[in-house]
Amino acid sequence: MQACCRPKYLHCIFPNFLKSSATDLFVPFNDLAMNIAYLVNQYPKTSHSFIRREIVALEAAGVPVSRFSIRSLAAEIIDEADKQEASKTRYVLREGVSGLLSSTINVALKHPLRFLSAVKLAYKVGHSSDRGLVYHLAYLAEACVLLRWFAKSKISHVHTHFGTNSATVAMLCRELGGPTYSLTVHGPEEFDKPQAISLTEKIKRAAFVVSVCSFGRSQLYRWCDYPQWSKIHVVHCGVDEMFLKHPYTPLPKQPRFVCIGRLSEQKGHLLLIEAAGQLAAEGHDFKLVLVGDGPLRERIEAMICQFHLENHVEITGWATNEQVQQQILAAQVMLVPSFAEGLPVVIMESLALCRPVISTYIAGIPELVQPGKSGWLVPSGSVSALKEAMQVAIHTPLDQLEEMGKTGAKLVAQNHNAATEAKTLKALFPQ
């Protein structure tokens, strides 16, 4: 469409409408030097320090990384490192409705065939999703905004974390003519509803796909054809020098457990409180600290009162990275009683600091926690098994707990070093 044929009133309604030239919007992305964009639905986020570590490690390895996020969680950020990341991140929804609409109309008018193809894709994945077509048209509008931003920033490739909304936006942006994309799938959400999030379609269109553990890779194999398997790689989440090189701190003499994570059903806190109640009723002396917050906090507090655990259990709320580290160091043993996971970073953090772990036989956890060597594993959902493992830990000699922690630290150093894993990821990016 020629400029003289464009309706003049659009410039009044949408001030940014059609300011970008066609070359601004559609740089030949495949010809650009490596300049990576990270796209996450919510970034930074208190529970996603592993993404921040990965980005920082990539930059240390010489990879330029631009941060993009769909929405901001600035009001919830407490860690100074996250606040610094927020200042480097550009947020799509800050464009507002007018910005989303003007970007969408801009792309539709300048490149109608590409836009139509993206609309068809949005309809295809939206029709089978649990969120519906309207949401996917919104994702398309977000993709139109990012298309312009990526072109101006000369982005050559987009990497997303999680196979949900942000991966959908990256896929639609690619269909509009944007850069190639890849995604890291963590689980368990992606494996709970693979068809609703069109996981098969995202794998097929991606340049490559990352799983954080071997279990996750096996689940991805289930949702794509065999010829796609070669593009699926394991790149572990990692910990940085703050944990890997921290001077050894002896375990406290008094039995003390720490459990770090969002207070939600899948993390198993309710059963943990039941197990703690049984231990206390039997006269065992211990302390349990829950680090985190979430929708179940009031229910957990009520159970603490119900089981008379006021002198045994403490809830701290969300904590900074440094506070998390101090809580781990103050404990003898980490507890991760989850029902559903990928491979929790808190396990890596705990083992890196030489604290053994009690967790469950699910997902990628057995790949890191070795029963009898670096901790204990119990069937998920079993209060009796969890209580028994805690009781064993309470009565395990301190020197044996220390040896288990040191064994785990060696395993983390070998397989979960953020710097090493970033180099593995770097090698996957299109050159």
Place of tokens 């368990």: 188
Tell whether 199 and 264 lie within a shared domain.
no
Tell whether 139 and 170 lie within a shared domain.
yes
* Nearest 10 degrees: Cα torsion 189, 190, 191, 196: 100
Tell whether 316 and 203 lie within a shared domain.
no
Q: State the first-to-last Cα distance of the chain, in angstroms, to the nearest integer.
A: 35
Cβ contact 288:313 at 8 Å:
yes
What number is the average pLDDT over the span 59-88?
A: 95
| Secondary structure class of 234 (helix, strand, coil) | strand
Tell whether 234 and 299 lie within a shared domain.
no
Tell whether 267 and 233 lie within a shared domain.
no
Q: What is the CATH number of the domain that holds 205?
A: 3.40.50.2000
Mean pLDDT, rounded, of the chain: 93
Tell whether 402 and 262 lie within a shared domain.
yes
Lowest-pLDDT range of 6-15, 34-43, 165-174, 355-364: 6-15
* Nearest 10 degrees: Cα torsion 390, 396, 401, 407: -90
What number is the average pLDDT over the span 348-358?
A: 98
pTM for the model: 0.91
Tell whether 158 and 251 lie within a shared domain.
no
Tell whether 225 and 372 lie within a shared domain.
no
Cβ contact 71:45 at 8 Å:
no
Tell whether 424 and 353 lie within a shared domain.
no
How many other C-beta atoms lie within 10 A of the C-beta of residue 308? Answer: 11
Place of tokens 């860690």: 79
Tell whether 265 and 327 lie within a shared domain.
yes
Tell whether 82 and 113 lie within a shared domain.
yes
The residues facing 287 across adjacent strands are 256
Rounded distance between C-alpha atoms, residue 192 and residue 212, angstroms: 16
What kind and span of H or E run contains 160?
Answer: strand 157-161
Buried b (16+ CB within 10 A) or exposed e, 124-154: ebbeebebeeeebbbbbbbbbbbbbbbbebe
Domain of residue 12 covers 3-27+34-238+419-428
Tell whether 223 and 350 lie within a shared domain.
no
pLDDT confidence tier of residue 7, bands split at 50, 70 and 90 = very low
pLDDT above 70: residue 293: yes
The total number of structural domains in the chain stands at 2
